[in-house]
Amino acid sequence: MPNHVVHFEITGTDPARLHAYYRELFGWTYELGDTVSGQVSEAGSYGFVDASIAGLNGGVGGGATLRPKALFYVGVDDVGAALDQAEALGGQRVFGPDGVPGKLVVGQFTDPEGNLIGVAGPH
């Protein structure tokens, strides 16, 4: 797999407010649903952005207990291996792998400068 950026997300403590904000700002429309991990967004609060409008798969969500952030996910073959490598190179695992193996697994890490990055793949 060529490790392309495959997804973005914007999360905060008030998902409905963010949905309205980006709908008004960029014209994004959403399909509400659940993410593969409760560490990404509260159940039923994740708005999957119409990729034909945003240009890339993405989502806007969050919840009262989740910190605001904007990040992107890089597609990898093995999320656990990518997180291990990120740590070996000086990064720090935030969470993962989490999800449904064979369907979608996600994880997040911070790079040596503290930037939050996501990885996503089938394993």
At residue 103, what is the residue type?
Answer: K
Burial class, 69, CB count within 10 angstroms (exposed 0-12 / middle 13-18 / buried 19+): middle
**Residue 61 confidence (pLDDT):** 95
Nearest-CA neighbor of 49 among 81, 69, 21, 75? 21
Tell me the pTM. 0.87
Residue 1, pLDDT score: 54
Q: What is the pLDDT of residues 80-104, one digit of tens each?
A: 999 999 999 999 999 999 999 999 9
- Domain extent listing, the chain: 9-71, 73-121
The pLDDT of residue 3: 86
List the chain residues with pLDDT less than 70. Answer: 1-2
pLDDT score at 55: 87
- The topology (CATH level 3) of 73-121 is 2,3-Dihydroxybiphenyl 1,2-Dioxygenase; domain 1 (3.10.180)
